[in-house]
Amino acid sequence: MGPKEVVALLVGLALLVGTVFLPPRPTRWVSALCVFAAAFVGFRIALSPAASAVIATGLALAAFAYLPALAQRRVVFLVPAMVVLIFATTLLMYAAPGNPFANERVATPTVEAALRAKYGVPKSATDFFFVYMGRLIREGTLGPSIKVLGRSVEDLLLPAFPVSVSLGLFAILLSVAIGASLGVIAGLKKNSAADYASMALALIGVSFPNFLIGAGLMVVFAIWLGVLPVAGWGGYAHLVMPAIALALPSAAVIARLARGGVVEVMQQDYIRAARAKGLPESWVVVRHALRGALTPVVSYLGPAAATTMTGSFVVEVLFGVPGMGQWFVKGAVNRDYSVVLGTAIVYFGMIIVFNLLVDLAYVWLDPRLRTQKAGDA
């Protein structure tokens, strides 16, 4: 990594920090521009440039008119952050020892130069970044795989994408269901046996990494009891253990957040007023307490999604799940730069979308944010 790359990375980070200080009106315009750019690149992979531009323009106008201030601020930060992350990933790939053509039988300088020209892999990390981004925008392709001959990155990731998405979404839903249930029970029965038991389970879940949880599940349910398949993919039974392994660490954090939120909300004046009206306790909890109590949980779902998606790299390999994690690992081992960057872009995009959905849910839970200015978000 040379001084130019370091300076470029620092400039990118400085620009990201500068987005925090954008005034409300520029934030609205820049967020619409970021939505257009992200949507155009995303749809360009599957559609023509004209169709991608039409859809991106519609989404940008909708974002300009209807996107809440909090979400606009997030868009202004997250979309440029994706570019910085891609650049940083490129620098890390080139900083690792070796190159994609180091194991070729004929590694003369002439042959290596021809291979680099064929696959668009210059020797400079910065040059590769611009080549890759230009190819992504102009041609709408994630590039050819260097090690899997005759296959593009899209050909490799297209069958794996639904697998990773289904596993990740199921794990997130499972973590919310388990964590919120334990946290609400613990908060409603503060300092009781149920409270201590729930928090003990949460402590166990947060103390072990997901690959260790996965190995334990394999030993117990697949080897000892024989009720679940050890590995593979093909039915709901194959989904259970990897989803639990991904969900438990996040569920533990959600349980603690939900407990704290319930304890705090149940002491508020409007809860006492609802009880004074003679409303049933179940109605007070469900109708009045849960929305405020689950606000911290919703705020955590963005980082939880990132943890779940990135944790799936190891879990997918551990359980033999044919998701995108396998290609990220194979790409990193084989120095297949296009595969690594393509997988990273898909994961970054999924995390950005999920963070935006979390922001919209947060605005729905807290109506005060609907009238908040973008500069205050």
Rounded to 5°, the CA angle 348-353-357 comes to 145
Do 164 and 242 meet the contact criterion of CB atoms below 8 Å apart?
Answer: no
Do 204 and 283 meet the contact criterion of CB atoms below 8 Å apart?
Answer: no
Q: Tokens 């609205």 correspond to what residue?
A: 28
Report the pLDDT value the prediction gives residue 117, as an integer from 0 to 100: 85
Report the pLDDT value the prediction gives residue 60, as an integer from 0 to 100: 92
Report the pLDDT value the prediction gives residue 55, as an integer from 0 to 100: 93
Do 213 and 314 meet the contact criterion of CB atoms below 8 Å apart?
Answer: no
pLDDT tens-digit profile of 209-259?
Answer: 888 888 899 999 989 988 988 888 877 888 889 999 888 888 888 888 888
Report the pLDDT value the prediction gives residue 46, as an integer from 0 to 100: 76
Tokens standing for 257? Answer: 């957040």
- For residue 134, with 0-12 CB atoms within 10 Å meaning exposed, 13-18 middle and 19 or more buried, which class applies? exposed
Report the pLDDT value the prediction gives residue 365, as an integer from 0 to 100: 66
Report the pLDDT value the prediction gives residue 375, as an integer from 0 to 100: 44
Virtual CA dihedral for 123, 127, 133, 139, nearest 10 degrees? -70
Domain ranges within the chain, ordered by starting residue: 3-139, 154-335
Tokens standing for 87? Answer: 């650049």
Report the pLDDT value the prediction gives residue 36, as an integer from 0 to 100: 92
**Around 377, how many Cα atoms within 13 Å sit in the side-chain half-sphere?**
31
pLDDT tens-digit profile of 257-294?
Answer: 888 888 888 887 877 887 788 878 777 777 777 777 77
Q: Name which of 164, 129, 117 is nearest 4 in CA terms.
A: 129
What is the CATH architecture of 154-335? Orthogonal Bundle (1.10)
Report the pLDDT value the prediction gives residue 134, as an integer from 0 to 100: 87
Report the pLDDT value the prediction gives residue 346, as an integer from 0 to 100: 85
Q: Between the CA of residue 123 and those of 104, 117, 210, 261, what are the distances in Å?
A: 16, 10, 37, 52
Q: Tokens 């300076």 correspond to what residue?
A: 7
Stretches in the chain below the pLDDT threshold 50 = 373-377
